[in-house]
Structures are given as C-alpha cells and as structure tokens.
Amino acid sequence: MAIVLGPNRYGKAEVRVARVTRTTATDHELCDLDVSVSLSGDLADTHLRGDNARVVPTDTMRAVVYAFAQDRPLPAIEEFGLRLARHFVDAHASIDTARVRLLEYPWVRIAGTHGPHPHAWTRAAGVRRAGVVRGPEGVEVCSGLADVSVLKSTGSEFHGFSTDRYTTLAPTRDRILATTVRAGWRHRRDGAAPADWDASFRAARDTLLRTFAETHSLSLQQTLYTMGEAVLAEQEHLAEVRLTLPNHHHVEVDLSPFGQPNPGEVYQVTDRPYGLIEGTVRRGDAAPALADLPWE
C-alpha cells in the first residue's frame, strides 16, 4: 500500500522577547515572554518534492513575533496569541491553522529605598501560560500556569486502596502532599471572552492554590478534581480545566536506629520515581476542545 504524508506542522519555537513600556523615562513596565508558533496547511509540496513556494520560513515567524510585540498597549498573552494566530492564517493562503504557545515569566518590582522601584525587577516563581489555535473549525484559547510548587505538611491521607501481592505501601492518615502544578483552562468558544484576561488568570491561579491548601486530601486525585471544580465554579466562561500533578513523595526517615522517634518531622525528599496524576474537569455541556489546541 502507498506511503503517504500524514499530519504535519512546523514553526519557530521559543522566541524570547522582553517588552519594555516606558510610561515615563524612568517609570517602566516589563513583559518577558517565550513565544512558539506552529503552522499547518497545504504543505505537501515541501515534504514530497522540496518545493518551498508555500512555506513561510520560520525566520519570518520570529520576525512577526518581534514586530507584533511592539503593539501599544501590549495586551495579555492570550490576546497577543490571538493576534499572532490571526496574522498567519490571514496572510498566507497555504496556511489554514496557526497554533501559538506563550509563556510569561513573572517579574516583581525590587523594593527600593522609596518603595517599589520604577524600572528594576526580580523574577518571581512560576510561569503563566496561554495557548491559541485558529483553524478551519474556529478559534480556541486556553490559559494556564506551570512550575508552581506547593506543599501541605498535614491534611493529607491515603488509605483504603486496592491491594494485591505486589502491595507493600502502608496506608497513612497523615502525609506530606507536595506537587508542582501544571494547569490549563480552556475558554468557551460559544461565550464571551473574559473582559480582563489578567484578572481571570489571577483568579484561577489564586483559586488553584487556595483550594490545594484548604482541601483535606484523601488522594491527590481528589485534590485534583476539587481544584479544577473550584476554578470552573467561579468563572462561567471556562469550559474545562486540565491538571498535571506529579506526586513528589516525601518519606518519613526512620531514625529509630539512632534512638530517635520521628513523629512527622524529618522527611527524605525524593526525585524519582514519582506519582503522576493527570485529569480533566469540565462542564458537561461544553464542546470538546479543538484537536490542535496547544495546551502544553
């Protein structure tokens, strides 16, 4: 049977751009982004014959990211991604789908002698993310975060699980629960976009953290579901939340050989292996996500 070209796409990944907005000569805003663009469409000619007439060079994608980064005012990353995706689909007849993935690194103002400094920052933890796809089936946007590590030192149990001949794990009524949150939430295509992308992001982030902290956990799966549900309950325009939660195991160290009891005080922090809990919480009536949405 014939060998054929299957699904394909190409783009420029990890375009690093810092955008300074000079409100006055010394009073600035800073936006620090990592933008990846990926396009697909009628690209058989370059794959099969090396004919590049329909290929927009990835170098051009890089240039567009930089040129559009000068938009005034620089919008939220979701809106910036929408502008970029629209440009590529509109400007090139051979391209039917554009995917844009954006990371934003948070910076906070350094505390100066007279308050927050007007043009000096230090990096804060965590990454804000957004993904946009524009294609024949429509336009879809997800927001999210990554690299947000959280830990609870009590209020987490794990017992009553299925056992078999390979079970050695002891049930526990009190353990450390620690994870690094990777979350994405998808905005409804049939509804209005949030009036304020930034406020929507902050609300979702704060809810995820607060819910992690305040949920008495019987399993990391339960915590995951509760976190996702809380975000959806607060923001009507969201259709679905995806969470990826590695379980960073903290093991109570056996200090009894040294004559020391260890009542939940000293823990070994392990690297590998780790549990990995992945799940989705969604509205029952939400349309499925577009296949090309860059959640990752």
172 near its own copies, judged by CB under 8 A: no
Which of 225, 290, 293, 295 is close enough to bind its own copies by CB under 8 A? Answer: 225
Total of chain residues touching its own copies, rule CB under 8 A: 140
Burial class (CB in 10 A: 0-12, 13-18, 19+), 2: exposed
Cα gap 98→128, rounded to integer Å: 20
- Name every residue whose Cβ is closer than 8 Å to that of residue 11 and which is 6 or more positions away in sequence: 36, 37, 38, 39, 58, 61, 99
Residue 199, phi then psi, degrees to nearest 5: -65, -40
Tell whether residue 201 is among the known ligand binding residues: no
Which of 73, 115, 168, 173 is close enough to bind its own copies by CB under 8 A? Answer: 168
Tell whether residue 58 is among the known ligand binding residues: yes
Tell whether residue 128 is among the known ligand binding residues: no
- CB of 184 closer than 8 Å to CB of 140: no
113 near its own copies, judged by CB under 8 A: yes
Task: Tell me which residues in 1-30 interact with its own copies (CB under 8 A).
Answer: 1-22, 25-26, 28, 30
Cα gap 72→139, rounded to integer Å: 23
CA-based nearest residue to 284, from 233, 238, 239: 239
187 near its own copies, judged by CB under 8 A: no
CA-based nearest residue to 229, from 287, 275, 183, 191: 183
Contacting range for its own copies; rule: CB under 8 A; set: 76-84, 128-136, 196-204, 226-234: 226-234
Tell whether residue 59 is among the known ligand binding residues: yes
Task: Tell me which residues in 258-277 interact with its own copies (CB under 8 A).
Answer: 258, 260, 262-277
Residue 172, phi then psi, degrees to nearest 5: -140, 145
| Residue 12 a catalytic site member | yes
| Residue 172 a catalytic site member | no
Instruction: Provide, rounded to whole angstroms, the least separation between the CB of residue 164 and its own copies.
Output: 6
Which of 75, 83, 96, 107 is close enough to bind its own copies by CB under 8 A? Answer: 107
Residue numbers in the known binding site for O2 are 247
The residues assigned a catalytic role are 12, 58, 249
Residue numbers in the known binding site for urate are 58-59, 158, 175, 221, 247
